[in-house]
Amino acid sequence: MASDPGHEPSCALGSRQSMIIVSTIYICLGVFIFFENIITIMAIRRTPSLHTNPNLYMFSLAVSDVLVGATAIFLGSFVNPTVQDRVTSTFPYLASLAVTFGMVSLSFAHMAVIAVDRYIYIGKPYLYERCITRRVIFFQILCLWVSGAVYTIAPMIVYREVNVGFCILIDLPPEYTLYAIGIAYFILLVVVLIAYYKIARVVLQHRRSIANQTISLDRTGEDLRNRKRQTSALKSVRFFAVVFGFFFGFTLPTVFCMYIESVVDLPYELYAFLIFIAPANSSMNTLVFALMNKEFRKAVKKIFVDLRCLKVYESSF
């Protein structure tokens, strides 16, 4: 959509009332995402049984989602017409958009690294045990965050002087919204799909191998350990596959929306909705984690029990 310097900010979302409604919803969503992922960080940090390699990635994801929640609150405030009337500079708005889409892109990069990690763990277990140490995982996470920081800060520097309005990404240059975000998205999507396809093949081969073996009552300890390890690996794969499925479902409409918008004009309400649903994915990881991981549910429950006990303790004085 072409930018019109003389147009009022309300062009993005229609009436002033609808802008206030969208602002309230987005602020509430941001608050929910922020505190939900703070709980995830606390639960993983406080619970030794959750200090596994896959959960290191979940911890990193939760940190990025906390930033998404914080910027969602900020963006929601900017959508409010009362705030727009008082703000003279739109750079904070540009910075919030850059952080939001930088962190969403960082989340997808996590998905790709996790998919490859799970494939090596299941398909090449001896290689995984020999090469994928905690130090390697921390280095991978560091590299992800460095690339995410560059991806986030670059548009703040390059487009600092660009006239970015309040119309939900309308004024951002296409080389950022279409090429930098879109191309990286589809490259990582291919990596994730290939990794999970290979995981599915390995799992199918293992099941066929087990089915063809003669059932024996005197299984060795090594057989039982391998079976337990494989079951644990499959649980983690299912969990991350569900997480990726939600991420894909929330972000793909946004990416397609940006490409379609570059060709034809979409209604402002539809465009704003499709742009806003991508950050909403940050609310799903904790929910999926709680549904599929018993240890995490226990850790979250303990946090609330401790907070309640602390409140009772303080009220007694």
User: What number of CA atoms fall less than 13 Å from residue 154's CA on the CB side?
Assistant: 14
What's the pLDDT band for 10 if we cut at 50, 70, 90? very low
pLDDT in tens, 200-256: 888 777 666 665 554 444 455 555 555 665 666 677 778 888 888 888 888 888 888
Residue 152 amino acid letter: T
Per-residue DSSP letter, 49: G
- Whether 60 shows a pLDDT value over 80: the answer reads yes
**128-141 burial, b if ≥16 CB within 10 A, otherwise e?**
beeebeeeebeebb
What domains lie within the chain, and their CATH numbers? 9-315 (1.20.1070.10)
Q: What percent of the chain has pLDDT over 90?
A: 13
Please give the Cα distance from 115 to 247 (Å, whole number). Answer: 13
What are the angstrom distances between the C-alpha of 296 and each of 38, 42, 46, 47, 288? 13, 11, 10, 8, 10
Instruction: Select the highest-mean-pLDDT range: 16-30, 43-57, 156-170.
Output: 43-57
What pTM, to 2 d.p., does this model score? 0.79
How high is the pLDDT of residue 7?
39
pLDDT in tens, 172-185: 666 776 777 778 88
283 Cβ contact list (under 8 Å, min separation 6): 29, 32, 33, 36, 65
- Whether 92 shows a pLDDT value over 70: the answer reads yes
